[in-house]
Structure 1
Amino acid sequence: MDAVWLGVVVAAVVTGAAATPVLLARGLAQLARRDAASRGLGLAGALGGIAAGTAAVAVAQRTGIWELAPVLLLWGCALVTAACCDAVTQRIPTALVRQAGVLTCALLTVALAVHGDWPGLALSGVAAMASGLTLLLCWRFAGAGFGDVRLATLGGLGLGHATPRGLLLAFAAFTVITVTQAVVTVMRGGDRRSTIPYGPALTVGFLLAAAA
């Protein structure tokens, strides 16, 4: 079993590292910002893909539902792609996030239905609605973009088996990253009207919440 588990981990991280830069190029093309591509951004995407693969396998191992690994790998790579796009353009590729959301929802439903994990499926839906509504409030009152609302809804789909520890870690990471971005923005001459990309903080939070 250990050898099988190791093989799944290797396959997931290699696939994540290879797939995310491809998705990133697609996302930048959808935003008409191919000029924003760089070697550093591609490396960040690959590392994020590795993190997505690790998170996907961690959830599959914890739940014993190995069909979740490829579904959550897709989910995680889409989150990382959107975060990288947001980091360099402050925009999130709507089409990519929507497509990933539809595909993740469909595959997640099949994987969990096969195992009769209806509570996990229901919690995934609740988490998606809760995170989407939370960012909708941030869009209305805290300057978040509507792309962040879509990204949060996608992110919530992967939290059907999140633990309280993972959620606390996710909240802490999101807070630290967001505050750090705000401080750096102010130090560079920005003010309270300056915008910051929420995508990276959201993505780190969702991956931690799912995996921990």
Structure 2
Amino acid sequence: MSGNKILELKNINKSFGSRKIIQDLNLELDKGDILSIIGPSGAGKTTLLRMIAGLETADSGHFYHDGQEFDPTDRSKHVVGMVFQDFNLFPNLTVMDNITLAPVNVKGLSKKDAEVAAQRIIDELDLNEVVNLYPYQLSGGQKQRVAIARALEMQPAILCYDEPTSALDPELVGKVKEIFFKLKQNGITQIVITHDHQFGKEVADKILEVSKFKGEQ
């Protein structure tokens, strides 16, 4: 197994009942790669992303990180972070509390240490002015950046995005693109599914095009 690959998928299979979604998929990504997964609705893009993020289990196959096999569903490893399409922010928590909740509850950091660790990410994503606000007080673009900051706070090697531009005005898409490239420079490998093929192609180092199996409608 090659040690310089940040992520490798070997012979991944997934079905729902008799419906085959993913068959014998192989994939390799280097550190800092941006992969866009494109294809029609129902072709398995979201299922694949959720398997990489450990939110769905594969029926068979193997996942490798830095040459070592790992189980994406093992949440103690923090190899992969996820930014959801609807952001999934906690409405009763401030921006800072949303960002620091997992490090405190999962990693066992003190609130102070978690906030210190969060500050660099907050600076990078230009969130200083909103750290004490609640999600309902934020714009779509701000919510997107908070969701990214929350995922980055767990220090994942790989960050997955589900339709990161779908809720944004066109002028904000460029800002998301800037964030992608900034994270790439910081060595974060990123995987994105998007219906915006132009955005997907502009940010991607690699493109994986998935299609429905014959007989699927």
Q: Which structure has more RCO (C-alpha within 8 Å, separation ≥ 6)? A: 2
Larger gyration radius, structure 1 or structure 2:
2
TM-score, structure 2 normalization:
0.34
Where is the strand percentage greater, Structure 1 or Structure 2? Answer: 2
